[in-house]
Structure 1
Amino acid sequence: MEIRQIRRYTLTRYPIELISHKLIKREVNIQDTIIISGTPRGGTTWFMELLETLPKYKSIFEPLNKKWFSPVKKLNLPPRPYLEANAENDQLKKYLNLVFTGRIVSKAPRFSMNLRSIKKHIFATKILVKFIRANRPLPWIVNNFEIRATYFLLRHPCATIASQLETGTRGYFMPKFAPIPKEMVLKEAQQIPIIRNNEWLMKKLNTITTQEEILAAIWSIDNYVPLSYLSSHQNAWYTGVYEKLITDFDEEIKKVFGYIGEEVPEEVYERFKKPSTTTHDRSHLGTPKQLLKWKKKLSECQIKNMLKVVHWFGLDFYTEAPEPDYGSIKDWKS
């Protein structure tokens, strides 16, 4: 079934992308562009589909995926690139300018399209871009592009990693379920000054051995970098928390759309309990029970190992509780 869905999508979405790109010439103002950034299996696709209800917007899905966007290969980027906020990178800047102005064609195998979504996609004049590989360069992105808004999405590390272990999706260009080498994570950490210069933290990272510890280190780096920047640049973007959206959707979604001065479209409420196109486990969708599923998928040892690593980074607003300490997220300082 899954293979047929991908084939159907390949036969429909890609030609629609080409028609929209080559035949329907429309100016896209980068100042209308919205981006969403988060971790693999962190709820970003669902969040994107909520925001995609905005009139005149179409989504661009994972433009740093070199399998779906051939120009990325020429950039010679690692799977999770890092750039300091004031760094120079003209090639990446030129490429993302194409993305943020809709001048790029995607081969991302997401879903088949109905007539309504085809029409909206062809005639869209505004762009919504979703990333799972942009957390680390997020400060650089917001420093280099004048876009409408940036949303940064957090989700419980245990829930995120449980889903990664179950689906094999980790945001790396390697076979699904293949173990990620510890050396890869240490090399990435060495490239980030705020981590590299923390001798105690680097010594701790050298002790990780299990896959859950390695994935917890990756989750922590992915979130530590943008949170550290946010602690001194409080208005850089909107920080959304997946758990809060689930438990208090009506209030939180008003804040999400209010951030860009928009009323909540009625279609959003229809989509709240609808699984995203990348959801595998569809039980308890849109209910607080959804936040407990990871407790059944992980052993006590795995949970302990993950949280131990996460807490090394000072990200202790997540514990064994299904929801984080929301106040601590808001007040967090690196």
Structure 2
Amino acid sequence: MFSEGFGSKAKNRVLGKLFIDRNRDYRNTVFLAGAGRGGTTWVSEIINYDGRYRYIFEPFHPGRVKSVRSFRHKQYIRPDNRDGKYLKPAWNILSGKVRSSWTDRFYKGRFVYDRRLVKDIRMNLALYWLRRNFPEMPIILLLRHPCAVAASRMKLGWRGSLAQTYLSQRELVEDFLAPFEREIQAAEERDFDRYIFGWCIENYVPLRQFSEGELLVVFYENFCERPREEVARTFRYLGRGFDDSVFAAMREPSPLARKESAVLLGERPADGWKRHVTPEQTKRAVEILALFGLDGVYSEDPMPDPGAVKALLRAK
């Protein structure tokens, strides 16, 4: 059907317009949230190892998807907000109506889908709003050590402004960030601090809003070091089984893995960041985490403490 010179991305753009998404019930959608450079693409490949889900890639990107241009880059939305400029595009996405070369860039080749997996790195601050408006949709929040995320972003030279992204959102400041405003402003010119503050903000908000049982929090490091346990926990939450071929999928780097990624370099993905982050930077990261009460979740140890997350979710 396609010539040898017809690239896989071009083929996906063509075929991605031909499939049928025949079940518009949002309850047949799984939502995976997490930080950019936090492993969400890899974990989405694990969840969709058998290709049963239509994979919708980062549909809340306002620079790529026309219907969400009313959203900010990291939009905070109060849970009781019913504004149609947010609700309508969210409904279209979660019911599978959205289609584009961006959202369907990792099309799996099936022609009929009944279920969807939406993966997005821009909705942590609106995650509880999604929960309120789509209460029966399974939501998974992926956490990865903030030093690992910061190291990856530093390699790529990611910029961005804490003031522009977060402090300019009045409702976000009123509801969550006012106690930290001075420290956030002071971190603006230090790349490493800025990355850690961004991680804290984007995870502090949902961990403050959600209660236990309203979402599943999973850990990148546990997928790396305790794969069977974390995979079983994830699929149990989704109410489905899995077979051992999922572990073969886990050994593959994500489609967005860079050539310097720990997986491709043969490093241990859970603690490979320690080669790129100084002990002083690690201590500084823990100080920032402590401001938000998140130093129990991650510390100088590369492994997380899931019990600390449970305690945060139970403290409502």
Q: TM-score, normalised on structure 1?
A: 0.83
List aligned pairs for 1:113-192, cutoff 5 A. Answer: 117-118=108-109, 120=110, 122-168=111-157, 177=158, 179-185=159-165, 187-188=167-168, 190-192=170-172
> What is aligned with 2:227?
249
* Deviation of 1:189 (Å): 6.4
Contact 2:54/2:115 (8 A) holds in 1: yes
Distance in 2, matches of 1:25 and 1:154, equals 30
Deviation larger for 305-314 or 99-108? 305-314
User: 2:16–2:104: 8 Å Cα contact kept in structure 1?
Assistant: no
> 8 Å contact 2:92–2:98 — kept in the other structure?
yes
Contact 2:143-2:219 at 8 Å conserved across structures: yes
Contact 2:146–2:196, Cα closer than 8 Å, also in 1: yes
Provide, for residues 109-140 of structure 1, a one-character-per-residue CA deviation record: whole Å limited to 9, x for no partner.
88676xxx31x2x2122111001001000000
Whether the aligned pair in 2 keeps the contact of 1:37 and 1:153 (CA below 8 Å) is yes
Post-superposition Cα deviations, 1:88-115, rounded to whole Å, max 9, x if no partner, equal 22122111111111111122288676xx
Deviation, 1:54, is: 5.0
What is the CA–CA distance in structure 1 between the aligned matches of 2:51 and 2:59, rounded to whole Å? 22
* Aligned-pair CA distance for 1:188: 4.3
State the secondary structure of the residue aligned to 1:141. helix
SS at match of 2:268: helix
Residue in 2 that maps onto 1:194: 175
Which secondary structure does the structure 2 equivalent of 1:152 belong to? strand
- 5+ residue gaps, structure 1, are 1-6, 169-176
SS in 1 for 2:125: coil
1:28 aligns with 2:24: yes
Decide whether aligned partners of structure 1 residues 189 and 67 sit closer, same or farther in structure 2, where only a CA change above 3 A counts.
closer
1:234-281: per-residue Cα shift (whole Å, max 9, x none)? Answer: 121111111112111111111110112211133311111111111113
Q: Which residue is 1:172 aligned to?
A: none
Displacement of 1:182 after TM fit?
A: 4.5
State whether structure 2 residue 53 is matched by structure 1 residue 57.
yes
Write the distance in 1 (CA, Å) between the matches of 2:248 and 2:202: 31
Give the 3-state SS of the residue equivalent to 1:191 in structure 2: helix
Shift in Å, 1:206: 2.9
In the alignment, which residue of structure 1 is the partner of 2:3?
A: none
Match of 1:272 among 229, 247, 250: 250
Inter-CA distance 157–25: structure 2 relative to 1 (3 Å threshold): closer
Aligned equivalents of 1:28 and 1:283: distance in 2?
Answer: 38
Cα 1:312/1:124, change in 2 over 3 Å: same
Taking a change above 3 Å as real, the CA distance of residues 83 and 112 of structure 1, as seen in their structure-2 partners, is closer
Contact 1:50 1:271 in 2 (8 A): yes
Matched, 1:237 2:236: no
SS at match of 2:240: coil
Paired with 2:28 and 2:115, the residues of 1 have a C-alpha distance of 6
Once the two structures are superposed, the pairs formed by residues 218-229 of structure 1 within 5 Å of their partners are 218-229=198-209
| Residue identity matched to 2:36 | P
- Is the 1:62–1:131 Cα contact (8 Å) retained in structure 2? yes
Structure 2 counterpart of 1:123, one-letter code: V
Provide closer, same or farther for how the CA distance between residues 285 and 248 of structure 1 changes in structure 2, counting only shifts above 3 A.
farther
Structure 1 residue 62: Cα displacement: 0.1
Q: Scaled by the length of structure 2, what TM-score is found? A: 0.88
Match 1:47 to one of 38, 43, 50: 43
Partner Cα separation in structure 2 for residue 41 and residue 186 of structure 1 = 19
Partners of 1:126 and 1:166 lie apart in 2 by 35
Q: Percent identity at matched positions? A: 24
Q: What is the letter of the counterpart of residue 292 of structure 1?
A: D
- Report if the CA contact (8 A) 1:45-1:278 is conserved: yes
Partner of 1:38: 34
CA distance in 2, matches of 1:85, 1:62: 21
Aligned to 1:87: 81
Equivalent position of 2:16 in the other structure: 17
Aligned-residue offset at 1:184: 2.0
Q: Does 1:305 align with 2:284?
A: yes
Quote how far apart the aligned CAs of 1:287 are: 8.6
The match for 1:3 is none
Identify which of 99, 104, 113 aligns with 2:98: 104
Report the CA distance between 1:197 and its aligned residue.
4.0
Q: For residues 112 and 323 of structure 1, do their structure 2 counterparts lie closer, same or farther at Cα, with a shift above 3 Å needed?
A: closer
How many residue pairs align between the two structures? 305
**Conserved 8 A contact 2:62-2:68:** yes
1:331 positional shift: 0.9
Q: Which amino acid aligns with 1:81?
A: Q
CA-based RMSD of the aligned residues comes to 2.5
